[in-house]
């Protein structure tokens, strides 16, 4: 008897949950689970065409991804514990108070993307904090083999300027980076996961004399989200012994790179070799899927620093699905051998990669 009643209730529950949820109707025949997400389809159309030059994984996409970090990492429970304002995290303060925050030394260069993005946020009347995270997620979705990041909408547009010295510098020692990122809630492995972003990075401010942009620590063709960065194999490569400066000398935050035309950050070089981070770093060499899924997980955390995710609306469905790529098996760059690798993970041997054929690799300007 009892069991019959339970069965009856159970099947009723199944029927109820099978009724499709009403979806909100947005522009151009698209629908969303929540009407609050509709505006993001319009923002998507606009920025894909007018900010990212028809959905490219180009410079504005890279700078937009970098900006998600420089806004969000202004968040310090340590300062709060000392009775000071610790920053609001992913709150758009870097855009609302650009005249203050973009003058912080670690934010050198981000003023350009802040001012490029601002009119789009104003036009669509969305908060600066939401816009910055949305643009970063859309921008990196344009990179082949890239992540599809979560996007939660509803951050307040009200913020205060972040305190200075919360954004890591490329000249920082690993201890400093681990402490600062740890204060914001990231483990050493999660810092490495975040640095998957540098697979699509270039620099132009650490060595401003280089007359063109070069692959930063990693990539000569920073248009795909390629784990070669971690390998230091075919073109970009952090674990190969450095031998040269791509510009005309050493700059603060720069160390020698292994390839003509490639640029290496001091901080990436250190994190790739530190016992606390080396194994996570090395683990991505052969595992692009793990790099992408861990990046997606850690970016969900970054994008909501200082926010209560439960109070935000999940509009992830608006973020495009990145093109998949058939990445070639990782190799060492032509002209390099395993003897050039500075493996630093004690627990796991460095994978037995062979070198690409042909003359010694150099990295073309981007």
Q: Detail the residues annotated as belonging to a binding site for heme b.
A: 198
Report the partner that residue 248 touches, choosing among ligand NAG, ligand HEM, none (CB closer than 5 to 8 A by kind). Answer: ligand NAG
Does position 281 bind ligand HEM by CB under 6 A?
no
Binding mask 27-66 for ligand HEM (x = CB under 6 A): --------------------------------x--xx-xx
Residue with tokens 């400066």: 245
Question: Does residue 105 bind ligand HEM (CB under 6 A)?
Answer: no
Among 127, 216, 269, 307, binds ligand HEM (CB under 6 A): 216
- The residues pairing with 175 across neighbouring beta strands, listed in sequence order, are none
Examine residue 203 and tell whether it contacts ligand HEM (CB under 6 A).
Answer: yes
CB of 96 to ligand NAG, least distance (A): 4
| Ranges of H-type helices in the chain | 2-18, 38-50, 59-72, 77-81, 93-96, 98-101, 110-124, 128-141, 174-183, 188-194, 228-231, 266-273, 278-283, 288-302
Distance, CA of 65 to CA of 74 (rounded, Å): 16
Binding residues for ligand NAG (CB under 6 A): 78, 96, 122, 125-128, 157, 179-180, 182-183, 209, 248-249
- Applying CB under 6 A, among 98, 152, 177, 319 the residue interacting with ligand HEM is 177
d(CA 234, CA 329): 10
Cβ 63 vs Cβ 110: under 8 Å: yes
Q: Residue 24: in which H helix or E strand, if any? A: strand 24-25
Partner from ligand NAG, ligand HEM, none binding residue 137, C-beta < 5-8 Å depending on class: none
201 is in the binding site of which of ligand NAG, ligand HEM, none (Cβ under 5 to 8 A by kind)? ligand HEM
Give the other-Cβ count within 10 Å of 301's Cβ.
18
Please give the annotated binding residues for Ca(2+), written as ranges: 71, 89, 91, 93, 199, 219, 221, 226
User: From CA 68, how far away is CA 296, in angstroms rounded?
Assistant: 13
The SS3 call for residue 221 is coil
Buried/exposed code over 319-348 (b: 16+ C-beta within 10 A; e: otherwise): beebeeeeeeebbbbbebeeebbbebbeee
Q: Which residue has the tokens 């389809």?
A: 41
Per partner kind, with CB cut-offs from 5 to 8 A, the member of ligand NAG, ligand HEM, none near residue 267 is ligand HEM
Active-site residue 62, yes or no?
A: no
* Residue-by-residue DSSP string for 233-261: -SS--SSBPP-B-SSSS--TTEE-BSSBT
Residue 194 makes contact with ligand HEM by CB under 6 A? yes
| SS3 letters across 145-197 | CCCCCCCEECCCCCCCCCCCCCCCCCCCCHHHHHHHHHHCCCCHHHHHHHHHH
Q: Which does 204 bind (CB under 5 to 8 A by kind): ligand NAG, ligand HEM, none?
A: ligand HEM
Tell me the closest approach of the beta carbon of residue 51 to ligand NAG, in angstroms. 18
d(CA 287, CA 351): 11
Binding range to ligand HEM, per CB under 6 A, among 37-45, 146-154, 155-163, 189-197: 189-197
Which position among 62, 70, 105, 288 bears the catalytic label?
70
- Nearer to ligand NAG (CB atom), residue 127 or residue 227: 127
**Binding-site annotation, residues:** 71, 89, 91, 93, 198-199, 219, 221, 226
Q: How far is the CB of 123 from ligand NAG (least distance, A)?
A: 10
149 makes contact with ligand HEM (CB under 6 A): no
Q: Active-site residues: which are they?
A: 70
Which residues of the chain form contacts with ligand HEM (CB under 6 A)?
59, 62-63, 65-66, 68-69, 109, 168-170, 177, 194-195, 197-198, 200-206, 216, 253, 265, 267
């Amino acid at each position: 008897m009892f069991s019959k009643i339970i069965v009856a209730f159970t099947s009723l529950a199944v029927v109820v949950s099978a009724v499709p949820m009403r979806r909100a109707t947005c522009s151009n025949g698209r629908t969303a689970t929540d009407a609050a997400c509709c505006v993001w389809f319009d923002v998507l159309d606009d920025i894909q065409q007018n900010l990212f030059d028809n959905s490219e994984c180009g410079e504005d996409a890279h700078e937009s991804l970098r900006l998600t970090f420089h806004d969000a990492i202004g968040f310090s429970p340590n300062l709060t514990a000392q009775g000071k304002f610790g920053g609001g995290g992913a709150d758009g303060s870097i855009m609302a108070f650009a005249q203050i925050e973009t003058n912080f030394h670690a934010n050198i260069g981000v003023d350009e993307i802040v001012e490029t993005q601002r009119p789009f946020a104003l036009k669509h009347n969305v908060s600066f904090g939401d816009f910055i995270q949305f643009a970063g997620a859309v921008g990196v979705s344009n990179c082949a083999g890239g992540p599809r990041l979560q996007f939660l909408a509803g951050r307040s547009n009200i913020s205060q300027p972040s305190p200075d010295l919360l954004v890591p510098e490329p000249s920082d020692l690993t201890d400093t980076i681990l402490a600062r990122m740890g204060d914001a809630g990231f483990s050493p492995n999660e810092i490495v996961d975040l640095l998957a972003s540098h697979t699509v990075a270039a620099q132009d401010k650490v060595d401003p004399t280089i007359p063109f942009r070069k692959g930063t620590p990693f990539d000569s063709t920073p248009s795909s989200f390629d784990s070669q960065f971690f390998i230091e194999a075919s073109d970009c490569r952090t674990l190969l012994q450095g031998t040269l400066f791509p510009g005309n000398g050493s700059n603060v935050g720069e160390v020698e790179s292994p390839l003509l035309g490639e640029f290496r950050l001091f901080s990436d070089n250190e994190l790739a070799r530190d016992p606390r981070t080396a194994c996570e770093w090395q683990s991505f060499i052969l595992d692009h899927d793990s790099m992408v899924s861990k990046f997606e997980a850690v970016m969900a955390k970054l994008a909501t620093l200082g926010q209560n995710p439960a109070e935000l609306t999940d509009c992830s469905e608006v973020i495009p699905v990145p093109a998949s790529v058939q990445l070639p098996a990782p190799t060492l760059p032509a002209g390099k051998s395993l003897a050039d690798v500075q493996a630093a993970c004690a627990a796991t041997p460095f994978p037995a990669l062979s070198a690409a054929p042909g003359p010694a690799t150099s990295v073309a300007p981007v």
